[in-house]
Amino acid sequence: MRRIPSSGKHRRRRVVALWLAVRLLTCAAATATVAGPLHGDSESAPINDVEAAYLFNFAKFVRWPNSVAGSPLIICIAGTDSFRQAVAGLVNGEKIGGREVQVNRVVSNEAIADCSILFVEVTERTRLASFLDAAKGKPVLTVSDAPDFLVRGGIIQFVLESDHVRFAINLDAADRNNLSLSSQLLKVAIHVTGIPGKGDTR
């Protein structure tokens, strides 16, 4: 499958890119602003719940290499218990792509290789570098709401845009981990970096 970034919304993309750059320059100081309740037009759920739902939905638009086919889809959470419970509440015995879904807490860096999705909450960003190292080259979709996540080698980063939860994607990072992301997912991302399809020779 060839991955193509969405071609629409160019103007908004540029604005967002500018905004991202500003955010990346002031990364350390900006972390506190993430907290607090948020309101969407259609959903008035707290940001945690939205992010949990998105995390769960990401699985539906990602293709893992064939080597992991049939094994359970394990969502590893490095962060607060409340978030993990929010994700676990969504699973509800559902299967994604025929795979059973489990939600685990990250106990060690070694266990990360077994994860299908690794979510690192911004509260855990001191361990972020070691987590990314552990996940590098493994078929692990790394997701975080840490503001400099994509720069540091993560694949999907949650972004708040006028109180809406959005996300940005680093395709090169996804390639490194042997994952292919659906164009549907790229279409709704506010920002996509990297060259689509690079190294996707499976």
Note the residues at the interface with another protein (CB under 8 A): 6, 8-9, 40-43, 50, 54, 57, 60-61, 96-97, 164-167, 182, 184-185, 187-188
d(CA 94, CA 136): 28
Nearer to another protein, 81 or 163 (CB): 163
Helix axes 47-58, 81-91, angle to 10 degrees: 50
**What is the rounded distance in angstroms from the CA atom of residue 170 to the CA atom of residue 157?**
8
Count how many Cα atoms sit within 13 Å of the Cα of residue 135 in the half-sphere of its side chain: 31
CB 12, min distance to another protein, A: 8
| Minimum gap (Å) between residue 127 Cβ and another protein | 27
Angle (CA) 140 94 69, round 5°: 40
- 117-151 burial code (b ≥16 CB/10 A, e <16): bbbbbbebbeebeebbebbeebbbbbbbbbbbbbe
Minimum distance from CB of 83 to another protein (Å)? 18
| Residue 34 or 90 having the CB closest to another protein | 90
- The CA distance from 115 to 162, in Å, is 32
The least distance separating another protein from the CB of residue 141, rounded to whole angstroms, comes to 15
Least distance CB 39 / another protein (angstroms): 12
CB of 109 to another protein, least distance (A): 30
- Whose Cβ is closer to another protein: residue 89's or residue 199's? 89
Report which of 52, 167, 185 is spatially closest to residue 117, judged by C-alpha positions. Answer: 52
Q: In degrees rounded to 5, what are phi and psi of residue 5?
A: -75, 150
